Structure 1
Amino acid sequence: MSNLCIISFPGSDFAPITLECHQNLSEYLTIQNSPVLFGCRTGICGTCLVEVIGEISPPKLDEQEMLDTLAPYYPHARLACQVDLTANVEIRKIEQ
């Protein structure tokens, strides 16, 4: 199993990014390389709300409470700053 994860952004003009697994997305995704924006980077502002398609661990309780409020109709919604990358994923920005 590879220790690299590919993050792709379908439906956007951004090229895929390769990171080591378990890297914090908020430290590597920028306005120059992804459609994902970050505010607080701690999971309380909701700025980095995205839809994630791929194998990732489920959200922790605090993140789930935010997701229930911000994106109740998106089953794959996550806060990008809280995602633990363990495999290749696709990320789409959720417009609020």
Structure 2
Amino acid sequence: MADFCKISFPGSNFVPITLECHENLSEHLTIQNSPVLFGCRTGICGTCLVEIIGNIPPPQLDEQEMLETLAPKNPNTRLACQLDLTANIAIQTLEQ
């Protein structure tokens, strides 16, 4: 039996989606179902930088280095393409 995680997008008109835990968000989020934009989908461009509300595992070293460059003062930021979904989360795009 698979576990599922709900991803919601507060402050937007996008409806929540449900994915199996540990699914890769970049393979499922599109312009039609989320406000999150993706570029490279490998964690090196920073296009999918978002703020996460919820409990998720800490970033891997490569992602952490990118986060320190892109959003050094916001500990809740993550690259959506690098998230390991382990629980229900809310994703907000960052104000540029």
TM-score (norm 1): 0.96
Seq. identity, %: 76
- 2: distance between equivalents of 1:39 and 1:11? 22
Give the structure with the larger strand fraction: 1
Amino acid at match of 1:21: C
Name the residue aligned to 2:27. Answer: 27
The alpha-carbon deviation at position 95 of structure 1 amounts to 2.8
CA RMSD of aligned residues (A): 1.3
2:32 corresponds to 1:4: no
Residues 1:57 and 2:54 aligned together? no
- Give the unaligned 5+ runs of structure 1: none
Q: Deviations over 1:22-77 (max 9, x none)?
A: 00000000000000000000000000000011111000111001000101121100
The number of equivalent residue pairs is 96
**Correspondence list, 1:7-86, <5 A:** 7-86=7-86
User: Unaligned 5+ residue runs, structure 2?
Assistant: none
TM-score with structure 2 length normalisation?
Answer: 0.96
